[in-house]
Structure formats: structure tokens, C-alpha cells
Amino acid sequence: MPSKMTEPRQLFLHELGDILYAERVLAKALPKMAKEASDAELRTGFEDHLQETRGQIQNLEEAFRALGEKPTPERCPGIEGIKAEHDEFMRQKPSPEICDLFLTGAAARAEHYEIAAYTGLVTMAQAMGEKTVARLLKENLGQEKEALKKVETIGKRMMRSSATAAMAA
């Protein structure tokens, strides 16, 4: 990378590399999260999102190529931080119920991060007149929004049932 960034296109490529790195981190983390989940719906949700994530990585690589660039990941401390919080918490070996509740929150954090990144990238791609790139990024953005909704719904269901259990005790 040149020492001083002067062009919006350079920033765009940086952000594209950042989310490519983040998606690769998530593709490694999601199988672990699926194993950690006890709730069947949550586990399936992670497995499904892993498949989507693999497709998202392909979309990002295609976006790079559409711009005439080689797909180049840029280290993303943001997603590493979200992952580190997860790893640290899991070392405490919480009960299965707490673990599942925690995982819904951790997943929602990751989705919000991705949604913010893709929203910015789509706006920028559209402003640059890069229609193919914008389409690829919008596809990823739509999947992240759906994944967030799903995990929030699961989290709410779990919180309601744990509140009911607490009242019955």
C-alpha cells in the first residue's frame, strides 16, 4: 500500500480487504460456535451461516477481480476483538444455557459489525458507479441482516423461556 492514501478508491479497497479478512475469521469461528451451541436451532443457524459466509468470501473475491485487483485481506482488529471476547468468555466454561445465550449476543455483535461494513461499502460502490461490485456487496449485506434477525429471534425465545423457568422455580 502507498504510504499516504489520497484516493477514495484506495480506501474502498482497504475496507474491502478488511471485511474479507473478517469473513475469513468468521468462517473459522462459526464451526466452533456451532459445536458450542446446545440449542438445535442456534446450532443449525450457525451451520447455515457458515455456508453463506463461504459464499460471501467468494463474492468479495469476485468484487476484487471486478475492480481489476487481486483479493487482498487486510488485518481487521475489530473482528479479532469480537472473537477475543468470545474466546475469553468461553474459557469460564459457562452452563449450556448461559453459553447459548452468550452465543446469540456474540453472533449479533459480529452481524452488526458486518452490517456496518457492508452498508458503507455498498454506498461507496454505488457512488463509484461500480454496479457489479455493489450488487455482490448488497447480496452479502442482505444475508447479514437476515442472520441478525434470526439470531435475535432465537435470543428472545431463550430469554423468555429462562425467565419462565426462573419464575417457576
Q: Is 144 in the site for Fe ion (CB under 5 A)?
A: yes
Distance CA 13, CA 150 (A): 30
Stretch that binds Fe ion, among 80-88, 93-101, 119-127, 146-154 (CB under 5 A): 146-154
Taking residues 46 to 65 in sequence order and writing x for each that binds Fe ion by CB under 5 A, - otherwise, the string is: -------x--x---------
Shortest Å, Cβ 56 to Fe ion: 5
Query: By C-beta, is 12 or 59 nearer to Fe ion?
Result: 59
Question: Is 118 in contact with 144 (CB distance < 8 Å)?
Answer: yes
- Residues 110-129 binding Fe ion (CB under 5 A) are 111, 114
Distances (CA, A) of 93 to 38, 96, 97, 100, 120: 13, 9, 11, 12, 37
Longest distance between any two alpha carbons in the chain, whole Å: 63
Q: Is 18 in the site for Fe ion (CB under 5 A)?
A: no
